[in-house]
Chains A and B, each alone.
Chain A
Amino acid sequence: MDVRAAGADVVLMDADDRLLTKVGIPASGGAVPPIQRVIACAVSRLGADPGRVTHATLSASRSMSDVLEQRAVSRVAVVRIGWPLTGAVPPLSTWPGELRRAVSAGACTVAGGVEYDGRMSAPLDETAIARFLHSVAGEADAVAIAGVFSPIDPGHELAAAAVVQRELGREVSISLSHEIGSLGLLGRENATVLNAALTRAAGKIGDELRAALAHESMDAEPFFAQNDGSVMALEHALRFPELALGGRAAAGMRGAAYLSGVGDAVVVSVGASSASVGILVNGYPRETDVPPEVEGIRMGFRAPAVAEISVGAGGQEFVTALHGAIARTWGAPAVLPLVVVGEGSDLVPEEVPGVSEVMRPAEGDVACAIGMTIAPVSGQADVIYADRGAPWARAVQEARSLAIGRAVVAGADPRRVDVVEVTELPLFSLLDPAIRVRVRASGPRM
């Protein structure tokens, strides 16, 4: 179910990824159609037997953006671990004041953390954390915890989470930075706070989805589109709602890859008011080199490298903007094909400079919905290993196990999960050689 401002596209596909039927549901009054209505419409117009639907996948990108725009966010208590250091840029000090006030229930920096080689800097000050939590107990719906060098050793973040559960109970949602981002304290902390801020909204969307499925007697497993072009089970999305941001754009690219049969291409997805341009590498959307920004704040999570351009009235102005976006995204005259999908694909001319050919696959108008329906579940590990005499091969092996484990937690069938991508980046800027290993594992849904 591709839900967006202009309405919703729903597709029904069989176990061999063949499209059975599709339906478009118009928006009412410019608002995102409620999930209940989308599913009810789909059942009646697709003629699907609700009992036979096994998986239902939704893109929550639009809803999450709306939540943020309307400031319908959870109030987050922020715990940074690293005192007496890090004070030169306090938590959330780079956030615009109005957003900070809407999101933050308070912030503290406590002693603890580790050095770049995993050596403990200071014992975790659990008393200070407890004291801080008492002071914000009435205000905070969620807690974000970010510790210095936690991607190298998350121990203090885990211990701090235990303090939160003791003091505020097991119901409050906790976001731990080492599960959200890699090195770079500010970006990772910002992303963790944003994740925590979206947890209540994610819960509501999850409840609506479950209720809507139950109402139609549809016993389908609910999934959400993720920002890397894969999907994740509902439970995983409730803990990591930030993964759903960018999910729609990524799903469109996966759909384009699937429908066109190419793994490496430039993809443009043309909607009613805007078009997005991205690059497919090996069937997955290429990710940004620099951290993405949300409302001008650097967020240390991964995101598809997608350029947005306005459709406007179409015509030459749109074509020129498209050329510019393609050149910027690829950075050189590309020998890649251009795959055009989306309801407005007619606006792209037959001849586009800088690409080898222009492909318009059948069913491209529902590429997003198809992309999220056929996508596998994936889990990622992004870890740093400081060289402490351990052979790097073991580091890679540990990262692979972590990624596979996360894919399973996100809803992949454990019998069919495989590692699909391994990147090893030696880090030379630290004094002792260290290695950063990024692994993606994916598999079909359970």
Chain B
Amino acid sequence: MRLDASNLGDYARGCALLGAGGGGGFDVGLLMALHAVEAHGPVALVGLDALPDASRVMLCGIAGSPAIADERIWSGDEGGRLLTAVEAHGSGGIGALMCLQIAGAGGVLPVTWAARLGLPLVDADARGRAFPRLQQQAMHLARIHAGPLVLTDSRSTVVVEAADGPWADRLAHGVASALGGMCAIALGSVSVAQARSAVISGTVSHAIEVGHARSGRGARDALGAVVLVEGRVIDLERGDGRGSAVVQTEGTGTRQLRLEFQSDYLIAIDDGAVCASVPDVICVVSAATGDPLAIERTRFDDRVVVIAWPAHELWRSSDGLSLAGPAAFGYDVDHVPLSHARS
């Protein structure tokens, strides 16, 4: 399978849905990818099974705020700089690129880099959804150290050795801030054999399928999502990196759903009981357009549909929950698996 003008639009739309609309920078990311495949040819999409065990894969994406790219458009050669630095630090030649995070602009950007480098993109990613902290990814969960950490904005390149977990996260965000709010990132490289044991396979082709659905119902089916509530935003409070929103149904028999968020929607509470929680994905969709509404674009009185779908099972293990469950975000509630919730 190849990524080219015939399916990149669907892919970008799928990445936006999987990221619940957060982060920004999708439109520019798509335009970049279209321009790149036109100039350099389509990008081969390969499953991990199709690559030799010893081949090395570079895990790459974005650190900081991808919306900055709507103004400060990427140069396109970030991927090449990341690759040069990763290979120079002794890991050997990179045979393929893999998205650190399929959700949001981080799924689209590696397509441009792969096209320019003439490398394939692996049909997999290390998160399956959007997460804010660098260590919230499959390699860390599997205790596979992927290094070095490389960050670049095409003007400067920073290589960070022997940092892992929360330290790598702090350094990455500090560098992204210093570089103007956003930069490209590589979590070093791993062998295909290591990757196979840890990552979430098939997420790129899944994103294309999700993005291809033309109706809200079709997209929900492709995502495996349930509707939590349909109504209007009647309350919205933000402050200090976190906030909450209340959606109330219209018409008879009013119900209210309360949503807690930070940079993503994390907890949904129906009638005092948690009905959906991170790592499962909660997404607010505009009733008018069917597009996911990022938190920063949600406004009082918006008519919305709140949907949710289960995270990949690796996040629902006890290690997965301690890394990415409600407690990891500072909420004193237990994770409630979506399949047990009232829909």
A-B contact pairs, 23 of them (CB 8 A): A84-B154, A84-B155, A85-B73, A85-B155, A86-B74, A88-B76, A88-B112, A89-B73, A115-B181, A116-B72, A116-B180, A117-B181, A119-B180, A149-B71, A183-B70, A184-B71, A185-B70, A186-B73, A331-B288, A426-B238, A429-B294, A430-B67, A431-B64
In Å, the complex CA distance between A90 and B32 comes to 9
| Chain B residues in the interface with A (C-beta under 8 A) | 23-24, 28, 31-32, 35-36, 64-65, 67-68, 70-77, 112, 153-155, 177, 180-181, 238, 287-288, 294-296, 303
Other-chain contact of B67, A87, A113, A429 (Cβ < 8 Å): A429
B31 neighbours in A (Cβ, 8 Å): 89, 93-94, 186
B73 neighbours in A (Cβ, 8 Å): 82, 85-89, 148, 185-186
Given pairs A82-B73, A86-B72, 11 additional interface contacts (CB within 8 A):
A84-B155, A85-B75, A87-B76, A87-B77, A88-B73, A115-B180, A184-B70, A185-B72, A429-B24, A429-B294, A430-B65
A148 neighbours in B (Cβ, 8 Å): 71-73
Select from chain B the residue with minimum beta-carbon distance to A183. Answer: B71
Q: Does A121 contact B (CB under 8 A)?
A: yes
Q: Does A40 contact B (CB under 8 A)?
A: no
Other-chain contact of A429, B77, B154, B296 (Cβ < 8 Å): B296
Q: How far does the Cβ of A155 sit from chain B's closest Cβ, in whole Å?
A: 15
**Using a CB-CB cutoff of 8 Å, which residues 156-194 of chain A contact chain B?**
183-186
Whether B296 pairs with A88 at a CB distance below 8 angstroms is: no
Select from chain B the residue with minimum beta-carbon distance to A83. Answer: B75
Q: How far does the Cβ of B24 sit from chain A's closest Cβ, in whole Å?
A: 5
B71 neighbours in A (Cβ, 8 Å): 116, 148-149, 183-185
Given the known A-B contacts A88-B35, A116-B181, A431-B181, are A186 and B72 also in contact in the complex, defined by CB atoms under 8 Å? no
**How many residues on the A side are at the interface (Cβ–Cβ under 8 A)?**
30
Other-chain contact of B181, A82, A186, A430 (Cβ < 8 Å): A430
In Å, the complex CA distance between A356 and B9 comes to 40
Whether B181 pairs with A85 at a CB distance below 8 angstroms is: no
B295 neighbours in A (Cβ, 8 Å): 428
Select from chain A the residue with minimum beta-carbon distance to B288. Answer: A331
Q: Does A390 contact B (CB under 8 A)?
A: no
In Å, the complex CA distance between A115 and B176 comes to 12
In Å, the complex CA distance between A174 and B296 comes to 34
Q: How far does the Cβ of B238 sit from chain A's closest Cβ, in whole Å?
A: 7
Q: How far does the Cβ of B192 sit from chain A's closest Cβ, in whole Å?
A: 28
B181 neighbours in A (Cβ, 8 Å): 115-117, 430-431
A116 neighbours in B (Cβ, 8 Å): 68, 71-72, 180-181
Whether A427 pairs with B296 at a CB distance below 8 angstroms is: yes
Q: How far does the Cβ of B239 sit from chain A's closest Cβ, in whole Å?
A: 10
B75 neighbours in A (Cβ, 8 Å): 84-88
A119 neighbours in B (Cβ, 8 Å): 180
Select from chain B the residue with minimum beta-carbon distance to A289. Answer: B289
A426 neighbours in B (Cβ, 8 Å): 238, 296
Q: How far does the Cβ of B151 sit from chain A's closest Cβ, in whole Å?
A: 15
Q: How far does the Cβ of B184 sit from chain A's closest Cβ, in whole Å?
A: 11
Q: How far does the Cβ of B243 sit from chain A's closest Cβ, in whole Å?
A: 9
Q: How far does the Cβ of B234 sit from chain A's closest Cβ, in whole Å?
A: 16
Select from chain A the residue with minimum beta-carbon distance to B73. Answer: A86
Whether B65 pairs with A88 at a CB distance below 8 angstroms is: no
Q: Does A31 contact B (CB under 8 A)?
A: no
In Å, the complex CA distance between A173 and B36 comes to 33
Of A88, A116, A332, A429, which is in contact with the most chain B CB atoms at under 10 Å from its CB?
A88
In Å, the complex CA distance between A429 and B298 comes to 12
Other-chain contact of B68, A84, A87, A90, A430 (Cβ < 8 Å): A430
Q: How far does the Cβ of A82 sit from chain B's closest Cβ, in whole Å?
A: 7
In Å, the complex CA distance between A84 and B177 comes to 18
In Å, the complex CA distance between A206 and B275 comes to 63
Select from chain B the residue with minimum beta-carbon distance to A85. Answer: B75
Whether A85 pairs with B153 at a CB distance below 8 angstroms is: yes
Whether A331 pairs with B303 at a CB distance below 8 angstroms is: yes
Of B28, B64, B177, which is in contact with the most chain A CB atoms at under 10 Å from its CB?
B28
Whether A113 pairs with B287 at a CB distance below 8 angstroms is: no
Q: How far does the Cβ of A376 sit from chain B's closest Cβ, in whole Å?
A: 28
B24 neighbours in A (Cβ, 8 Å): 429
In Å, the complex CA distance between A394 and B303 comes to 33
Given the known A-B contacts A89-B35, A428-B238, are A149 and B65 also in contact in the complex, defined by CB atoms under 8 Å? no
